[in-house]
Amino acid sequence: MSSAHPHHIIAIGASAGSMEEINAFFDHTPLDGVSYIIIQHLSPNFKSRMSELISKHSKLVVNNAKDGMEVACNEVYLIPNDKFMTIHEGKLFLKNKDSSEVPHLTINTFFKSLAADVGKNAIGIILSGMGSDGTEGIKALKEAGGMVIVRDPQNTNFSSMPASAIATGLVDFVLEPELMPHAIEDYVTIWRRNIS
């Protein structure tokens, strides 16, 4: 496992039905010194095979997140189905979902903590899904100087999550999942140029 700290962290908010989009995204992700964290809406009793599935589409190491796990370069972290997840000082922290808190706004929770932790080195992505989870999170990311990319709601049957994000007027790019890694690569290249 790599011990290097990522220079950017990409958080992907998605619904349970977004597996094809996630696979299309990871078919095109390079090894470029960033980390990816997937916050997917899953029911508490759902047993996900996402780790196994993404591993078939990516050169990156895929991890099921554990409490206190440090985020490393060129790795993917998956939220457990029955937890809220936050990040602080580059480490992931898990908290049980309270059955009385419905809906579980897991994307907002993680995006807000990411904005507070890495600021302008955060990139938030919203894929398809129902509801508005992620909208408040992208506001926090943009306020901290991060970048936001959203799936085109016209090309999905589950459009309300990306449409709600776009309605904020804060989204940097509206793209299909397979084009998102290229936009991230360009963004990171410009960042590298500016700090060199």
Residue 128 scores a pLDDT above 70: yes
Order of strands across the sheet with 34-40? 61-64, 75-78, 34-40, 8-14, 122-126, 147-151, 173-175
For 3-48, the pLDDT digits (tens) are 588 999 999 999 878 889 999 999 999 888 899 999 988 766 656 6
Structure tokens at 146: 């991060």
List residues bridging with 147 in a β-sheet: 123
CA distance 43 to 145: 32
**Structure confidence at residue 116 (pLDDT):** 98
Name the residue among 85, 89, 140, 141 with its Cα closest to residue 110.
Answer: 85
DSSP H or E stretch at residue 88: strand 83-88
Looking at 3.30.300.30, 3.40.50.300, 3.40.50.180, 3.20.20.70, the CATH number of the domain 8-195 comes to: 3.40.50.180
**Structure confidence at residue 1 (pLDDT):** 42
Mean pLDDT of the chain: 90
DSSP H or E stretch at residue 192: helix 180-195
CA distance 195 to 167: 33
**Structure confidence at residue 101 (pLDDT):** 62
For 49-75, the pLDDT digits (tens) are 778 888 888 889 999 999 999 999 999
What predicted TM-score, i.e. pTM, was given to this entire model?
Answer: 0.93
